[in-house]
Amino acid sequence: MAERPRNILICSCEDTMQLDAEAVRRGCRGAEVTAGRQLCRAELDRFRTAAATGEPLVVACTQEAPLFSEVAGERADGNPVTFVNVRESAGWSSEGAKAGPKMAALIAAASETSPDFPLVSLSSEGVTLVYGRDERAIEAAKLLAEHLDVTVLISKPDKLEPPRVTDFPIVKGTIKSAKGYLGAFELTVDDYAAPVPSSRGALTFAAPRDGALSRCDIVLDLSGGAPLFPAFDLRDGYLRADPNDPAAVLKTVLKARDLVGGFDKPRYITFTESICAHSRSKIVGCRRCLDLCPTGAISPAGDHVAIDANICAGCGQCAAVCPTGAASYALPPADALMRKLRAMLTAYREAGGARAIVLFHDEEHGGELIDALARHGDGLPANVLPLSVNEVTQVGLEALAAAFAYGASAARFLLRAKPRHDVAGLAKTIALAEPILTGLGFKPTRVATIETDDPFALGDALRAIEPADGAPRPASFSAVGAKRDVLRLSLRELHRAAPAPVDIVALPEGAPFGTVKLNVEGCTLCLSCVSACPTGALSDDPDRPVLRFAEDACVQCGLCKATCPEKVIILVPQLDFRAATASTRVLKEEEPALCIRCSKPFGVKSSVERVAAKLEGQHWMFKNSAKRLDVIKMCADCRVIAMSEEKFDPFGAPPRPNPRTTEDYLREREALERANKPDS
């Protein structure tokens, strides 16, 4: 964890909220806390003096951050100033008098910096396709023609007035399919045709054709039909409006005018192909991310999947459910988010707070609701700690486990009443967290969503949460490393801190933890499951026929089950807290088959004996020849030598029966009919 802030400025905002500087000082472990009444105006010199020291500084105000940044910038040698909102999040509340520990928690969390994230560059030259059904699309194009390179595509036009001057192309056609993103759209158009120049009273078009391709940078969809893309509002460069709503059309036109030049967007997901458990040998195992991606940015690519960073909108569901950690969120990474949780909950506890409720929210929706609740309602309860993330759907099991290990009593996810995309991934994460928490002695319904666009409904939902104690022995671990490692660490610490720890917790189907059960009698130790396992959970021994299993490495991808030719593998989702320290266990072991010529082990004794028994006297190569049958009981090298010494003829098969033709069947049928025909 980063060093706690040493120099903190808090302000009562003209005495509109109560300050508990001592609680902030306890939570931030003896930091120098300066309290003011109007730091942004009458007491600005106090901020100027603190900033002039060049030491790290935290200011508990975000409204006047531009002013403070300007003043702090007067000294180029000073460290950057961190700003944190404690007014709307804590002070402006009916429980503001008890919000001292909460303020300390928010300040400590804000002091945890996140690493830089990579960017993806998009480029647009302004080539725009306006897609519509009538004159309204043409009118929108006229607004854009001076700024963008516009083409209008009209689907099934009806009596369009020919333009006096062709300022931009107007063609007809219906978009059949679309792919791409800002700067790189590719559309397939059916019924495509250009107008004839001699159109007089209404536009007439040449002979249409199907399958025409259109490439453009921006698509303005005013067709009023079904969107061209899933989760269309998350697709960069695709703008859509109801043609019957002039205000919405104008707003969309203004957005399109700004989409020229170079743009940077975060590369939300860091992907490691080598540990992806999607498939092996063209057999599909894990497809969690494929089933959840709302934008279609993920596609199969051999043994792994591929994530198109240009299309990815950053919902984070793929990273939240990825069992191996191949997909991990970068804004911020899982370990950085957990360090923020640690700082917040530890500071809250040390400042005297109890029964903390962590509220995960985004800024665009959740931040506005929290602000409105503080300004027009009772504000957030004093034990509700808001934590802003890029998307609430990015939060995975590792963050939830860490939050409860650090002492949280409950967690809530603030969602829109009608989410912009499917939140099935978050529902799966909650469905996985609940049985783990319940199994470890926490009361049920510790994790849930709040789906509302009403700030007052948000306040009512938070106050309706029944208070419960957190972990009796809160953890203090610091998370560093890859997602799967961080997840294992969080679960171990949660188990240690839990009220009633148990060794094994049963999990729902699809969980990324579990064991395998093997029908030992049916297993032939072919070891195809070992070659298919992407994580090394199943392993063999080069010296003996044995199948081993390490539960800590199993992600329940199902590749072993799908690959097994005997279908003797059963997946059992569970969380065994002993697995991290347990050695691999033997699922099946047999005596090796020893070569009867050189005594070298070369296979499984029972399998060799079973094959020999089935072939003896049944196959033409092994009839009346004990030496031929002995070849099966030899290793590969000795088998070749024996066949050469005995001059076995691999082509000495008896003649194959003549192939049966249609005439043979007809002849047999006629003979059968004659035989069954009664004598006349």
* CATH code assigned at 585: 3.30.70.3270
Give the domain CATH number at 128: 3.50.50.60
Tell me whether residue 368 is in a domain: yes
Q: What is the count of structural domains for the chain?
A: 5
Q: Are 489 and 534 in contact (CB under 8 A)?
A: no
Residue 579: closest CA among 491, 649, 501: 491
Question: Which amino acid, 84?
Answer: V
Predicted pLDDT at 401: 97
504 in any annotated domain: no
Domain end among 329, 344, 361:
329
Residues contacting 663, CB < 8 A, separation 6+: none
Write out the residue range of the structural domain in which residue 166 sits: 121-264
Cβ(526)–Cβ(570) below 8 Å: no
Domain presence at residue 502: no
Query: What pLDDT was estimated at residue 80?
Result: 80
Q: Are residues 296 and 426 in the same domain?
A: no
Q: Are 412 and 392 in contact (CB under 8 A)?
A: no
| CA distances from residue 66 to 57, 69, 91, 368, 449 in whole angstroms, order as listed | 15, 5, 21, 19, 34
DSSP 55: S
167 and 247 housed in the same domain: yes
113: which 2 tokens? 């910096």
Q: What is the number of other CB atoms lying within 10 angstroms of the CB of residue 232? A: 16
pLDDT recorded at residue 3: 57
Q: Do 413 and 453 sit in the same domain of this protein?
A: yes
Distances (CA, A) of 230 to 66, 312, 462: 38, 12, 33
| Whether residue 377 sits in one domain with residue 485 | yes
pLDDT at position 648, please? 73
pLDDT at 1: 45
Residues 197 and 162: their CA atoms lie apart, in Å, by 9
Per-residue model confidence (pLDDT) at position 232: 94
Same domain assignment for residues 171 and 274: no
- From CA 341, how far away is CA 347, in angstroms rounded? 10
Structural domain includes residue 99 = yes
Same domain, 256 and 150: yes
Cα 36 to Cα 6, 21, 229, 380: the distances in Å are 17, 10, 52, 23
Considering the domain architecture, whether residues 248 and 363 belong to the same structural domain is answered as: no
pLDDT of residue 53: 85
Tokens of 51: 């900033």
The residues, ordered by sequence, that sit 6+ positions from 458 with a Cβ below 8 Å of its Cβ are: 369, 370, 373, 414, 450, 452
Pairing of strands 514-518, 569-576: antiparallel
Residues of the chain with pLDDT under 50: 1
C-alpha pair distances (Å), 301 with each of 278, 290, 657: 9, 11, 46
Residue pointed to by tokens 């002849």: 667
From residue 427, how far is each of 235, 314, 413 by CA, in Å? 23, 17, 10
What 608-615 contacts at long range (C-beta under 8 Å, 24+ apart), as own/partner pairs, is: 608/632, 608/633
Does a cis peptide bond (omega within 30 degrees of 0) precede residue 332? yes
Q: Are residues 475 and 341 in the same domain?
A: yes
**Can you point out the beta strands (E) in 243-329?**
261-266, 269-271, 279-280, 283-284, 298-301, 304-307, 327-329
Beta strands in 155-211 (DSSP E): 170-179, 185-193
**Domain match, 25 and 102 both:** yes
C-alpha distances out from residue 158 to 140, 190, 198, 215, 241, Å: 18, 17, 17, 25, 21
Are 237 and 291 found together in one domain? no
What's CA 113's distance to the chain center, in Å?
Answer: 23
**Domain boundary, last residue among 264, 294, 309:** 264
Residues 568 and 639 in one domain: no
Q: Which residues contact residue 63 at a Cβ distance below 8 angstroms, ignoring those fewer than 6 apart?
A: 40, 87
Helices (H), 5-112: 21-27, 44-52, 65-72, 100-110
C-alpha 261/C-alpha 277 separation (Å) is 38
- E strand residue ranges, 224-380: 238-240, 261-266, 269-271, 279-280, 283-284, 298-301, 304-307, 327-329, 357-361
| 275 is a domain residue | yes
Asked which of 497, 529, 554 is the last residue of a domain, the reply is: 497
pTM: 0.89
> Between helices 334-350 and 483-497, what is the axis angle to 10°?
30
Residue 521 class from Cβ within 10 Å (0-12 exposed, 13-18 middle, 19+ buried)? exposed
Give per-residue burial for 34-50: e unless 16+ CB within 10 Å, then b.
Answer: bbbeebbeeebebbeeb
Tell me, yes or no, whether 2 lies in a domain.
no
Asked whether residue 324 falls in the same domain as residue 373, the answer is: no
**Torsion on CA atoms 324, 326, 331, 336, rounded to nearest 10:** 50
Residue 183 lies in a domain: yes
Domain assignment of residue 601, yes or no: no
**Residue 612: its pLDDT value, please?**
84
